[in-house]
Amino acid sequence: MGALASAGLLVPLLGAAPSPGAPRQAAADRLQEAFAAAADEYHVPQSVLLGVSYLQSRWDAHGGAASVTGGYGPMHLTDARTALASAPHHSEGTEDPRGDTSRPAPPPAAEIPEESELPARLKTLPRAAELSGRSADELRTDPA
């Protein structure tokens, strides 16, 4: 009888336990709220903001993983200058990234381009900062 009573007490607790998708859902809710707030603040339909964001980032194609092309946020602002500044020191070909000094290191595949050589499509973050009056750091970290 005691086991039955204990089991009866556990039933309400099972419904209160967070589901495995709860943190992901909370993040999705915050993002949706950010889009709603932006739509309200700038008098743009939320569906337009979501559509442009999707076209810029194809958020469904990478399952929420970080961008491999250096884009930030749902509008996928790019800042190649920052990405190149933090390029690994092995990129210059002065040492062997394999840690193997017994064989000659292969030559680097390509040199890191100068910022002036980068196309405008890879420098949208600085332009967005200039147009919005917000700092580039703020745009990198703002979820919307």
Q: Model confidence over 78-92: pLDDT tens digits?
A: 777 777 776 666 566
pTM value surpassing 0.85: no
Measuring CA to CA, which residue among 35, 78, 29 is closest to residue 57?
A: 78
Confidence at 45, pLDDT banded by 50, 70, 90: very high
Q: How does pLDDT run across 100-137, given as a tens digit for each residue? A: 777 776 666 667 788 888 888 888 888 888 988 999 88
Q: Does 12 reside within a domain?
A: no
In a domain, 101, yes or no: no
Closest CA to 87 of 99, 104, 70, 101: 70
* Calpha distance 50→52 (Å, rounded): 6
Residue 133 lies in a domain: yes
* Number of domains the chain contains: 1
Angstrom distance (rounded) from CA 46 to CA 52 = 10
Nearest to 90 by CA among 114, 71, 110: 110
